[in-house]
Amino acid sequence: MAKTYLISGAGSGIGRAIAQQLSKNGHNCILLGRNAAKLKQTLNTLSPGDHAVFTVDITDKLRLSAVAYQLRDKVIDGLIANAGIGGENYWGDDDRWHTIIETNLTGTYNFVNTFLPLLQKAANEKHVLIISSVLARLGVANYSAYCASKAGLLGLMRSWAVQYAPQKILVNAICPGWVDTEMSQQGLQGIADGIGITKDEFYDIAMQSVPLKRMSQPEEIAGLVAYLLSQSAITGQTIDINGGAIMNS
């Protein structure tokens, strides 16, 4: 049976791969993102279905509410909170702390709460799935805002898992490690530039802490997402997918 999923940050990378996987599985995808051209590119790669695109920034609560109103007759089976930004931040006049926290943490809070009423209309189990990061578990110099925002998402997930369990809403998070996306490539380049080596040289250094010695592919993250959306027993959990870089017992 076809279900409908709302995906933020669907214009590229992991978000695009998730939409592709879910549409391939016969489901409908509502794509949200800030870049209309990239969203259209994603839409053009999907298997046939009742898909839709909305250009919106998850920090803009008024625009989110307007989209929710346009979708008021829809029943949403799952919310995939994938949108986020990365990069360094430094204390001072140009500190990106507030921008990163507002997007990654508060934006996810806005996104889920805005569309929750549409999710609550669905029958049986419903899902909220949050894309966090391995940096919710690790520290990286000059990534204080990113690390804090991604760790905050795990606390948010646990709270919601308890709060919405009586409504059969399952809430989980995924912590990807290095994934071969545009954001990761930019991160590699930025760190390499900061320490005065090439991106390829830093890639080799980064992979030394990954037992599988490679980045994950967006399609691999999407496969895990599809599984979590298909099950009815897992909630309040953080699933790591990082090539073995972090091994939790």
CB 3 within 8 A of CB 27: yes
pLDDT at residue 249, rounded to an integer: 61
Query: Beta strand pairing status for 78-81 and 4-7?
Result: parallel
pLDDT 10s digits, 3-14: 999 999 999 999
Overall pTM surpassing 0.85 (yes/no): yes
pLDDT 10s digits, 12-67: 999 999 999 999 999 999 999 999 999 999 999 999 999 999 999 999 999 999 99
pLDDT at residue 98, rounded to an integer: 98
Return d(Cα 155, Cα 22) in angstroms, integer. 27
- For 126, the enclosing helix (H) or strand (E) is strand 126-131
Question: Does residue 191 register a pLDDT over 90?
Answer: no
Question: Does residue 170 register a pLDDT over 80?
Answer: yes
- Domain 4-179+217-241 sits in which CATH superfamily? NAD(P)-binding Rossmann-like Domain (3.40.50.720)
- Residue that the structure tokens 């307007």 belong to: 66
pLDDT at residue 162, rounded to an integer: 98
Angle between helices 144-164 and 107-120 (to 10 degrees): 20
Name the residue among 16, 21, 22 with its Cα closest to residue 37: 16
Return d(Cα 14, Cα 24) in angstroms, integer. 15
Q: Which residue(s) pair with 131 in the sheet?
A: 174
| Mean pLDDT (the chain, rounded) | 95
The tokens describing 41, both together, are 């590119």
Torsion on CA atoms 148, 84, 225, 186, rounded to nearest 10? -100
